[in-house]
Structure 1
Amino acid sequence: MPASALLHLLQFASPALPIGAYSYSQGLEAALERGIVADAATARAWIVGQLHEVVAPWEAAVCWRLMRAFQRRDMAAALMWSERFIASRDSAESRAETIQMGYSLTQLLAELGVADGALLAALRGQDEVALPTAYACAVVALAIPHEAALLALLFAWAENQVLVCVKSVPLGQVAGQRLLLSLRAELEAAARFAQSVRDEGMRNWAPGLSLLSMQHEVQYSRLYRS
Protein backbone atom coordinates (compact mmCIF):
# COMPACT_ATOMS: atom_id res chain seq x y z
CA MET A 1 0.00 0.00 0.00
CA PRO A 2 1.39 3.47 -0.82
CA ALA A 3 2.34 5.49 2.25
CA SER A 4 -0.21 8.17 1.39
CA ALA A 5 -3.05 5.63 1.28
CA LEU A 6 -1.93 4.10 4.58
CA LEU A 7 -1.87 7.50 6.27
CA HIS A 8 -5.32 8.31 4.91
CA LEU A 9 -6.60 4.97 6.20
CA LEU A 10 -5.15 5.53 9.66
CA GLN A 11 -6.83 8.92 9.82
CA PHE A 12 -10.27 7.95 8.56
CA ALA A 13 -10.51 4.68 10.52
CA SER A 14 -9.32 6.31 13.76
CA PRO A 15 -11.61 6.55 16.81
CA ALA A 16 -10.39 10.17 17.02
CA LEU A 17 -12.23 11.05 13.80
CA PRO A 18 -14.81 13.67 14.88
CA ILE A 19 -17.96 11.83 13.87
CA GLY A 20 -19.06 10.63 17.33
CA ALA A 21 -18.32 6.89 17.14
CA TYR A 22 -17.14 6.83 20.77
CA SER A 23 -20.63 7.79 21.99
CA TYR A 24 -22.32 4.58 20.79
CA SER A 25 -22.17 1.03 22.18
CA GLN A 26 -24.48 -0.69 19.65
CA GLY A 27 -26.49 -2.55 22.27
CA LEU A 28 -23.51 -3.49 24.42
CA GLU A 29 -24.45 -1.14 27.26
CA ALA A 30 -27.86 -2.81 27.50
CA ALA A 31 -26.14 -6.21 27.58
CA LEU A 32 -23.93 -4.95 30.41
CA GLU A 33 -26.97 -3.68 32.31
CA ARG A 34 -28.60 -7.13 32.11
CA GLY A 35 -25.47 -9.07 33.07
CA ILE A 36 -25.06 -10.71 29.67
CA VAL A 37 -21.57 -9.21 29.56
CA ALA A 38 -19.87 -9.21 32.94
CA ASP A 39 -16.17 -10.08 32.50
CA ALA A 40 -13.44 -10.59 29.91
CA ALA A 41 -14.77 -13.98 28.77
CA THR A 42 -18.36 -12.80 28.24
CA ALA A 43 -17.11 -9.59 26.62
CA ARG A 44 -15.15 -11.60 24.08
CA ALA A 45 -18.10 -13.91 23.46
CA TRP A 46 -20.36 -10.91 22.83
CA ILE A 47 -17.93 -9.23 20.43
CA VAL A 48 -17.20 -12.41 18.48
CA GLY A 49 -20.88 -13.26 18.27
CA GLN A 50 -21.86 -9.83 16.94
CA LEU A 51 -18.89 -9.83 14.56
CA HIS A 52 -19.82 -13.09 12.85
CA GLU A 53 -23.61 -12.94 13.10
CA VAL A 54 -24.25 -9.26 12.26
CA VAL A 55 -21.23 -7.18 11.32
CA ALA A 56 -19.49 -9.46 8.82
CA PRO A 57 -22.54 -10.85 6.96
CA TRP A 58 -24.31 -7.51 6.73
CA GLU A 59 -22.57 -4.27 7.71
CA ALA A 60 -19.14 -5.17 6.32
CA ALA A 61 -20.64 -6.94 3.31
CA VAL A 62 -22.72 -3.86 2.48
CA CYS A 63 -19.68 -1.60 2.89
CA TRP A 64 -17.71 -3.84 0.53
CA ARG A 65 -20.43 -3.50 -2.10
CA LEU A 66 -20.59 0.26 -1.58
CA MET A 67 -16.83 0.60 -2.12
CA ARG A 68 -17.07 -1.36 -5.36
CA ALA A 69 -20.07 0.70 -6.50
CA PHE A 70 -18.33 4.02 -5.86
CA GLN A 71 -15.19 2.72 -7.56
CA ARG A 72 -17.24 1.98 -10.70
CA ARG A 73 -19.11 5.28 -10.28
CA ASP A 74 -22.27 3.18 -10.22
CA MET A 75 -24.34 5.63 -8.18
CA ALA A 76 -27.55 3.63 -8.63
CA ALA A 77 -25.97 0.61 -6.91
CA ALA A 78 -24.49 2.84 -4.21
CA LEU A 79 -27.90 4.35 -3.49
CA MET A 80 -29.56 0.92 -3.45
CA TRP A 81 -27.16 -0.52 -0.88
CA SER A 82 -27.27 2.63 1.21
CA GLU A 83 -31.07 2.53 1.33
CA ARG A 84 -31.05 -1.18 2.19
CA PHE A 85 -28.60 -0.57 5.01
CA ILE A 86 -30.73 2.21 6.50
CA ALA A 87 -33.86 0.04 6.15
CA SER A 88 -32.09 -2.72 8.10
CA ARG A 89 -31.80 -0.55 11.22
CA ASP A 90 -34.67 -1.90 13.32
CA SER A 91 -34.54 0.37 16.35
CA ALA A 92 -34.62 4.14 16.68
CA GLU A 93 -31.16 4.20 18.24
CA SER A 94 -29.42 2.08 15.62
CA ARG A 95 -31.00 4.11 12.84
CA ALA A 96 -30.08 7.43 14.42
CA GLU A 97 -26.52 6.19 14.96
CA THR A 98 -25.73 5.43 11.33
CA ILE A 99 -27.52 8.57 10.05
CA GLN A 100 -25.75 10.88 12.50
CA MET A 101 -22.30 9.48 11.80
CA GLY A 102 -22.93 9.28 8.06
CA TYR A 103 -23.95 12.92 8.03
CA SER A 104 -20.94 13.94 10.13
CA LEU A 105 -18.51 12.08 7.89
CA THR A 106 -20.09 13.56 4.77
CA GLN A 107 -19.68 17.06 6.20
CA LEU A 108 -16.10 16.29 7.16
CA LEU A 109 -15.25 15.08 3.65
CA ALA A 110 -16.69 18.28 2.20
CA GLU A 111 -14.84 20.54 4.64
CA LEU A 112 -11.53 18.73 4.09
CA GLY A 113 -11.98 18.80 0.32
CA VAL A 114 -10.86 15.20 -0.15
CA ALA A 115 -13.76 13.94 -2.28
CA ASP A 116 -14.23 14.93 -5.91
CA GLY A 117 -17.39 16.74 -6.95
CA ALA A 118 -19.15 13.71 -8.41
CA LEU A 119 -18.63 11.56 -5.33
CA LEU A 120 -19.63 14.32 -2.94
CA ALA A 121 -22.70 15.11 -5.02
CA ALA A 122 -23.69 11.43 -4.89
CA LEU A 123 -23.58 11.54 -1.10
CA ARG A 124 -25.38 14.84 -0.76
CA GLY A 125 -28.00 13.73 -3.26
CA GLN A 126 -29.23 11.09 -0.81
CA ASP A 127 -31.96 12.07 1.65
CA GLU A 128 -30.05 10.30 4.42
CA VAL A 129 -26.49 8.99 4.35
CA ALA A 130 -25.54 5.84 6.24
CA LEU A 131 -22.10 5.62 7.83
CA PRO A 132 -20.90 2.74 5.56
CA THR A 133 -21.90 4.84 2.53
CA ALA A 134 -19.86 7.86 3.61
CA TYR A 135 -16.95 5.62 4.62
CA ALA A 136 -16.95 3.81 1.28
CA CYS A 137 -17.00 7.13 -0.54
CA ALA A 138 -13.99 8.33 1.48
CA VAL A 139 -12.10 5.12 0.72
CA VAL A 140 -12.58 5.54 -3.02
CA ALA A 141 -11.87 9.28 -2.96
CA LEU A 142 -8.58 8.71 -1.11
CA ALA A 143 -7.52 5.68 -3.24
CA ILE A 144 -7.31 3.38 -0.22
CA PRO A 145 -7.17 -0.34 -1.11
CA HIS A 146 -10.57 -1.83 -0.42
CA GLU A 147 -9.29 -4.91 1.41
CA ALA A 148 -7.32 -2.79 3.87
CA ALA A 149 -10.23 -0.38 4.32
CA LEU A 150 -12.61 -3.22 5.13
CA LEU A 151 -10.26 -4.71 7.70
CA ALA A 152 -9.76 -1.26 9.25
CA LEU A 153 -13.53 -0.80 9.48
CA LEU A 154 -13.87 -4.11 11.33
CA PHE A 155 -10.97 -3.31 13.63
CA ALA A 156 -12.41 0.13 14.47
CA TRP A 157 -15.75 -1.50 15.34
CA ALA A 158 -14.05 -4.08 17.57
CA GLU A 159 -11.85 -1.46 19.20
CA ASN A 160 -14.89 0.64 20.09
CA GLN A 161 -16.62 -2.41 21.60
CA VAL A 162 -13.53 -3.20 23.67
CA LEU A 163 -13.31 0.39 24.89
CA VAL A 164 -16.92 0.19 26.07
CA CYS A 165 -15.98 -2.93 28.03
CA VAL A 166 -12.88 -1.29 29.49
CA LYS A 167 -15.00 1.58 30.81
CA SER A 168 -18.09 -0.31 31.85
CA VAL A 169 -17.39 -3.96 32.81
CA PRO A 170 -14.91 -2.71 33.91
CA LEU A 171 -11.83 -4.30 32.36
CA GLY A 172 -8.31 -3.06 32.95
CA GLN A 173 -6.45 -1.38 30.12
CA VAL A 174 -4.12 -4.36 29.70
CA ALA A 175 -7.04 -6.79 29.72
CA GLY A 176 -8.70 -4.68 27.06
CA GLN A 177 -5.64 -4.76 24.83
CA ARG A 178 -5.29 -8.50 25.40
CA LEU A 179 -8.91 -8.93 24.32
CA LEU A 180 -8.38 -6.81 21.21
CA LEU A 181 -5.24 -8.74 20.30
CA SER A 182 -7.10 -12.04 20.65
CA LEU A 183 -9.58 -10.93 17.97
CA ARG A 184 -7.05 -10.81 15.13
CA ALA A 185 -7.98 -14.13 13.54
CA GLU A 186 -11.69 -13.42 14.02
CA LEU A 187 -11.40 -10.06 12.26
CA GLU A 188 -9.45 -11.57 9.37
CA ALA A 189 -12.08 -14.29 8.95
CA ALA A 190 -14.87 -11.69 9.09
CA ALA A 191 -13.20 -9.61 6.36
CA ARG A 192 -12.81 -12.65 4.11
CA PHE A 193 -16.45 -13.60 4.61
CA ALA A 194 -17.70 -10.07 3.87
CA GLN A 195 -15.79 -10.03 0.59
CA SER A 196 -16.92 -13.46 -0.56
CA VAL A 197 -20.54 -13.76 0.61
CA ARG A 198 -23.10 -13.67 -2.18
CA ASP A 199 -26.03 -11.27 -1.99
CA GLU A 200 -28.46 -14.03 -1.06
CA GLY A 201 -26.18 -15.09 1.81
CA MET A 202 -26.14 -11.69 3.49
CA ARG A 203 -28.05 -11.40 6.77
CA ASN A 204 -28.45 -9.42 9.98
CA TRP A 205 -31.06 -11.51 11.77
CA ALA A 206 -30.31 -10.84 15.45
CA PRO A 207 -33.61 -10.44 17.35
CA GLY A 208 -31.85 -10.50 20.73
CA LEU A 209 -29.69 -7.55 19.74
CA SER A 210 -32.75 -5.71 18.40
CA LEU A 211 -34.57 -6.18 21.71
CA LEU A 212 -31.56 -4.97 23.68
CA SER A 213 -31.33 -1.90 21.48
CA MET A 214 -35.02 -1.13 22.06
CA GLN A 215 -34.64 -1.69 25.81
CA HIS A 216 -31.66 0.65 25.84
CA GLU A 217 -33.91 3.45 24.54
CA VAL A 218 -35.68 3.50 27.93
CA GLN A 219 -32.77 2.42 30.14
CA TYR A 220 -32.73 4.61 33.25
CA SER A 221 -29.01 5.29 33.47
CA ARG A 222 -26.64 5.13 30.51
CA LEU A 223 -23.38 6.51 29.17
CA TYR A 224 -23.89 5.72 25.48
CA ARG A 225 -26.42 6.73 22.86
CA SER A 226 -27.08 3.18 21.60
Structure 2
Amino acid sequence: MATDPQALLRLLQLASPALPVGAFSYSEGLETLIQRQVLQTPDQIYHWLEQELCYGAVRLEAAVMLRGYQALQVHQLERLDYWNAWLSALRETAELRQQSWQMGRALVRTLEALHPDIAPWVTAVAGPCHFAIAFAMAAVRWQIDAEDAMLGYLQSWASNLVNAAIRLVPLGQTVGQRLLLDLSPTLAQVAAAIPTLADDQLVVSGWGPSLASMTHETLYSRLFRS
Protein backbone atom coordinates (compact mmCIF):
# COMPACT_ATOMS: atom_id res chain seq x y z
CA MET A 1 0.00 0.00 0.00
CA ALA A 2 1.38 3.39 -0.98
CA THR A 3 2.23 5.86 1.75
CA ASP A 4 -0.10 8.85 1.97
CA PRO A 5 1.62 11.65 -0.01
CA GLN A 6 1.07 14.27 2.69
CA ALA A 7 2.43 12.00 5.40
CA LEU A 8 5.44 11.18 3.23
CA LEU A 9 6.16 14.85 2.66
CA ARG A 10 5.94 15.53 6.40
CA LEU A 11 8.29 12.63 7.11
CA LEU A 12 10.79 13.99 4.60
CA GLN A 13 10.54 17.38 6.30
CA LEU A 14 11.02 15.84 9.75
CA ALA A 15 14.06 13.78 8.68
CA SER A 16 15.58 16.57 6.57
CA PRO A 17 18.98 18.11 7.40
CA ALA A 18 17.14 21.43 7.04
CA LEU A 19 15.17 20.73 10.22
CA PRO A 20 16.42 23.49 12.57
CA VAL A 21 17.69 21.34 15.42
CA GLY A 22 21.45 21.67 14.89
CA ALA A 23 22.08 17.97 14.23
CA PHE A 24 24.96 18.88 11.91
CA SER A 25 27.02 20.14 14.87
CA TYR A 26 27.27 16.77 16.66
CA SER A 27 29.43 13.70 15.96
CA GLU A 28 28.54 11.48 18.98
CA GLY A 29 32.18 10.57 19.64
CA LEU A 30 33.02 9.99 15.98
CA GLU A 31 35.37 12.99 15.96
CA THR A 32 37.43 11.47 18.78
CA LEU A 33 37.76 8.13 17.02
CA ILE A 34 38.80 9.74 13.74
CA GLN A 35 41.33 12.07 15.39
CA ARG A 36 42.86 9.08 17.18
CA GLN A 37 43.01 7.22 13.85
CA VAL A 38 40.76 4.41 15.05
CA LEU A 39 38.48 5.10 12.07
CA GLN A 40 40.21 6.15 8.87
CA THR A 41 38.62 4.39 5.89
CA PRO A 42 35.11 4.15 4.42
CA ASP A 43 34.95 0.48 5.42
CA GLN A 44 35.80 1.33 9.02
CA ILE A 45 33.20 4.09 9.11
CA TYR A 46 30.61 1.73 7.65
CA HIS A 47 31.38 -0.97 10.23
CA TRP A 48 31.14 1.54 13.08
CA LEU A 49 27.80 2.89 11.88
CA GLU A 50 26.43 -0.61 11.32
CA GLN A 51 27.44 -1.73 14.82
CA GLU A 52 25.94 1.39 16.36
CA LEU A 53 22.65 0.76 14.57
CA CYS A 54 22.53 -2.87 15.65
CA TYR A 55 23.83 -2.58 19.22
CA GLY A 56 24.28 1.07 20.15
CA ALA A 57 22.22 3.76 21.82
CA VAL A 58 20.47 4.99 18.66
CA ARG A 59 18.54 1.71 18.57
CA LEU A 60 17.19 2.44 22.04
CA GLU A 61 16.43 6.05 21.15
CA ALA A 62 14.29 4.82 18.26
CA ALA A 63 12.58 2.35 20.59
CA VAL A 64 11.79 5.17 23.03
CA MET A 65 10.57 7.34 20.18
CA LEU A 66 8.15 4.54 19.29
CA ARG A 67 6.97 4.26 22.90
CA GLY A 68 6.45 8.00 23.05
CA TYR A 69 4.46 7.83 19.82
CA GLN A 70 2.26 5.06 21.25
CA ALA A 71 1.74 6.95 24.51
CA LEU A 72 0.58 10.03 22.65
CA GLN A 73 -1.84 8.04 20.54
CA VAL A 74 -3.68 6.79 23.63
CA HIS A 75 -3.21 10.06 25.60
CA GLN A 76 -1.04 8.45 28.30
CA LEU A 77 1.04 11.54 28.90
CA GLU A 78 2.53 10.15 32.10
CA ARG A 79 4.17 7.45 29.97
CA LEU A 80 5.60 10.16 27.74
CA ASP A 81 7.23 11.75 30.78
CA TYR A 82 8.43 8.34 32.02
CA TRP A 83 10.25 7.53 28.80
CA ASN A 84 11.75 10.99 28.59
CA ALA A 85 13.18 10.56 32.09
CA TRP A 86 14.35 7.06 31.14
CA LEU A 87 16.35 8.53 28.26
CA SER A 88 17.98 11.04 30.63
CA ALA A 89 19.13 8.13 32.78
CA LEU A 90 20.34 6.19 29.74
CA ARG A 91 22.63 8.90 28.37
CA GLU A 92 26.08 7.95 29.59
CA THR A 93 27.98 11.19 28.98
CA ALA A 94 27.27 14.85 29.55
CA GLU A 95 27.82 15.79 25.90
CA LEU A 96 25.41 13.15 24.61
CA ARG A 97 22.76 14.17 27.12
CA GLN A 98 23.14 17.84 26.24
CA GLN A 99 22.94 17.00 22.54
CA SER A 100 19.68 15.14 23.01
CA TRP A 101 18.21 17.90 25.18
CA GLN A 102 19.31 20.73 22.90
CA MET A 103 18.01 19.07 19.74
CA GLY A 104 14.77 18.22 21.55
CA ARG A 105 14.37 21.78 22.78
CA ALA A 106 14.91 23.15 19.27
CA LEU A 107 12.35 20.79 17.74
CA VAL A 108 9.81 21.52 20.46
CA ARG A 109 10.17 25.27 19.83
CA THR A 110 9.53 24.73 16.14
CA LEU A 111 6.50 22.51 16.80
CA GLU A 112 5.03 24.94 19.32
CA ALA A 113 5.32 27.75 16.79
CA LEU A 114 3.63 25.65 14.11
CA HIS A 115 1.08 23.89 16.33
CA PRO A 116 0.25 25.64 19.62
CA ASP A 117 -2.24 22.85 20.39
CA ILE A 118 0.60 20.50 21.39
CA ALA A 119 1.16 22.54 24.57
CA PRO A 120 -0.31 19.79 26.84
CA TRP A 121 2.19 17.30 25.42
CA VAL A 122 5.09 19.62 26.11
CA THR A 123 3.85 20.45 29.60
CA ALA A 124 3.53 16.75 30.43
CA VAL A 125 7.30 16.29 30.07
CA ALA A 126 8.70 17.42 33.41
CA GLY A 127 12.37 17.60 32.49
CA PRO A 128 14.18 18.80 29.37
CA CYS A 129 12.60 17.10 26.35
CA HIS A 130 14.81 14.67 24.47
CA PHE A 131 14.96 14.73 20.70
CA ALA A 132 13.42 11.25 20.40
CA ILE A 133 10.37 12.36 22.40
CA ALA A 134 10.03 15.59 20.42
CA PHE A 135 10.33 13.54 17.21
CA ALA A 136 7.45 11.36 18.43
CA MET A 137 5.35 14.48 19.05
CA ALA A 138 5.99 15.69 15.51
CA ALA A 139 5.24 12.29 13.99
CA VAL A 140 1.91 11.98 15.81
CA ARG A 141 0.90 15.59 15.13
CA TRP A 142 1.77 15.21 11.44
CA GLN A 143 0.01 11.84 11.19
CA ILE A 144 3.12 9.96 10.10
CA ASP A 145 2.90 6.19 10.41
CA ALA A 146 4.86 4.87 13.41
CA GLU A 147 7.01 2.47 11.38
CA ASP A 148 7.78 5.17 8.83
CA ALA A 149 8.69 7.59 11.62
CA MET A 150 11.06 5.06 13.17
CA LEU A 151 12.81 4.44 9.85
CA GLY A 152 13.03 8.19 9.29
CA TYR A 153 14.59 8.65 12.74
CA LEU A 154 17.27 6.06 12.02
CA GLN A 155 17.94 7.38 8.52
CA SER A 156 18.30 10.92 9.84
CA TRP A 157 20.83 9.72 12.45
CA ALA A 158 22.85 7.83 9.83
CA SER A 159 22.82 10.78 7.42
CA ASN A 160 24.06 13.20 10.09
CA LEU A 161 26.99 10.96 11.06
CA VAL A 162 27.92 10.19 7.47
CA ASN A 163 28.04 13.93 6.86
CA ALA A 164 30.26 14.29 9.92
CA ALA A 165 32.59 11.60 8.56
CA ILE A 166 32.72 13.36 5.18
CA ARG A 167 34.12 16.43 6.92
CA LEU A 168 36.38 14.66 9.43
CA VAL A 169 38.13 11.81 7.56
CA PRO A 170 37.59 13.43 5.01
CA LEU A 171 35.44 11.39 2.63
CA GLY A 172 34.11 12.44 -0.75
CA GLN A 173 30.42 13.17 -1.20
CA THR A 174 30.03 10.14 -3.49
CA VAL A 175 31.61 7.87 -0.88
CA GLY A 176 29.19 9.27 1.68
CA GLN A 177 26.22 8.47 -0.52
CA ARG A 178 27.57 4.96 -1.09
CA LEU A 179 27.79 4.48 2.69
CA LEU A 180 24.15 5.46 3.09
CA LEU A 181 23.10 3.10 0.31
CA ASP A 182 25.08 0.26 1.84
CA LEU A 183 23.48 0.94 5.23
CA SER A 184 19.95 0.71 3.82
CA PRO A 185 19.46 -3.03 4.55
CA THR A 186 20.69 -2.57 8.12
CA LEU A 187 18.42 0.43 8.65
CA ALA A 188 15.43 -1.60 7.44
CA GLN A 189 16.34 -4.63 9.58
CA VAL A 190 16.83 -2.57 12.74
CA ALA A 191 13.59 -0.65 12.16
CA ALA A 192 11.72 -3.94 11.74
CA ALA A 193 13.23 -5.44 14.90
CA ILE A 194 12.68 -2.52 17.27
CA PRO A 195 8.88 -2.95 17.67
CA THR A 196 9.47 -6.52 18.88
CA LEU A 197 11.63 -5.39 21.81
CA ALA A 198 10.11 -5.68 25.28
CA ASP A 199 10.95 -3.02 27.84
CA ASP A 200 13.41 -5.33 29.62
CA GLN A 201 15.25 -5.87 26.33
CA LEU A 202 16.21 -2.22 25.99
CA VAL A 203 19.91 -2.72 26.65
CA VAL A 204 22.94 -1.25 24.96
CA SER A 205 26.50 -2.43 24.34
CA GLY A 206 28.35 0.74 23.46
CA TRP A 207 31.24 1.28 25.84
CA GLY A 208 33.63 2.21 22.99
CA PRO A 209 31.59 5.16 21.68
CA SER A 210 30.83 6.14 25.29
CA LEU A 211 34.53 6.41 26.11
CA ALA A 212 35.09 8.33 22.87
CA SER A 213 32.33 10.74 23.86
CA MET A 214 33.72 11.17 27.39
CA THR A 215 37.12 12.22 26.04
CA HIS A 216 35.79 14.42 23.23
CA GLU A 217 35.81 17.56 25.36
CA THR A 218 39.57 17.17 25.96
CA LEU A 219 40.54 17.12 22.27
CA TYR A 220 42.99 19.84 21.26
CA SER A 221 40.70 21.07 18.49
CA ARG A 222 37.08 20.22 17.70
CA LEU A 223 34.71 20.76 14.82
CA PHE A 224 31.75 19.18 16.61
CA ARG A 225 29.99 19.50 19.94
CA SER A 226 29.91 15.80 20.85
TM-score over 0.5 (shorter chain): yes
For Structure 1 versus Structure 2, the TM-score category normalised by the shorter chain is over 0.9
State the aligned residue count: 224
Partner residue in 2 for 1:185: 185
The equivalences for 1:164-179 within 5 A come to 164-179=164-179
CA shift for structure 1 position 14 = 0.7
Shifted more, 177-186 versus 191-200: the winner is 191-200
The equivalences for 1:1-226 within 5 A come to 1-55=3-57, 57-113=59-115, 115-122=117-124, 125-226=125-226
CA shift for structure 1 position 155 = 0.4
User: Percent of aligned pairs with the same residue?
Assistant: 38
Task: Report the TM-score, using the length of structure 1 for normalisation.
Answer: 0.95
Q: Say what the alpha-carbon RMSD is for the aligned residues.
A: 1.3
The answer as to whether partners of 1:139 and 1:145 remain within 8 angstroms in 2 is yes
CA shift for structure 1 position 117 = 4.0
**Structure 1 residue matching 2:224: 3-state secondary structure:** coil
The answer as to whether partners of 1:57 and 1:197 remain within 8 angstroms in 2 is no
The answer as to whether partners of 2:69 and 2:139 remain within 8 angstroms in 1 is yes
Unmatched tracts of structure 1, length 5 or more: none
The answer as to whether partners of 1:154 and 1:187 remain within 8 angstroms in 2 is yes
Q: Relative to 1, partners in 2 of residues 1:154 and 1:94: Cα closer, same or farther, differing over 3 Å?
A: same
CA shift for structure 1 position 126 = 2.1
**Structure 2 residue matching 1:19: 3-state secondary structure:** coil
Distance, in Å, in 2 between the alignment partners of 1:198 and 1:115 is 31
Distance, in Å, in 2 between the alignment partners of 1:222 and 1:76 is 39
Task: Report the TM-score, using the length of structure 2 for normalisation.
Answer: 0.95
Stretches of 4+ aligned residues off by more than 4 angstroms:
none
Distance, in Å, in 1 between the alignment partners of 2:56 and 2:222 is 23
Unmatched tracts of structure 2, length 5 or more: none
Question: What amino acid does structure 1 have at the position aligned with 2:46?
Answer: R
CA shift for structure 1 position 56 = 5.4
Q: Relative to 1, partners in 2 of residues 1:115 and 1:23: Cα closer, same or farther, differing over 3 Å?
A: farther
